Amino acid sequence: MDQDPWEEKVAFVRRYYENKGYRVHSGLQFGCELVLYADDPQRVHSDFCIHVVRDGRCPKKFVEGIRGASLSH
């Protein structure tokens, strides 16, 4: 059975960040596909949440939410 193209994208992104040295875990409990940790997840919080868009476009409300979250810290 062929893998869904979106699942292939998620797998590609996972491998990309693993090769960069991050520990990559499922982010479904946080509302995203992947979470990245620079160290042991038992010792630190995640550094990033990764959302892989299905059609290559990011919804405007999502971008505004990201901007608002990053500006609030």
Specify the pTM. 0.70
- For the chain, domains (ranges, CATH) are 5-71 (3.40.1350.10)
pLDDT of residue 46: 82
pLDDT (0 to 100) of residue 63: 54
Backbone angles phi, psi at 43, to 5 degrees: -110, -25
Q: Give residue 72's pLDDT.
A: 41
Mean pLDDT of the chain: 78
Q: What confidence tens digit (pLDDT) does each residue in 1-48 have?
A: 677 888 998 999 999 999 999 999 999 888 889 999 988 878 878 888
DSSP 6-21: HHHHHHHHHHHHHHTT
Transcribe 31-49 into DSSP letters. Answer: TSSEEEESS-TTTS--SEE
- Res 51: pLDDT: 85
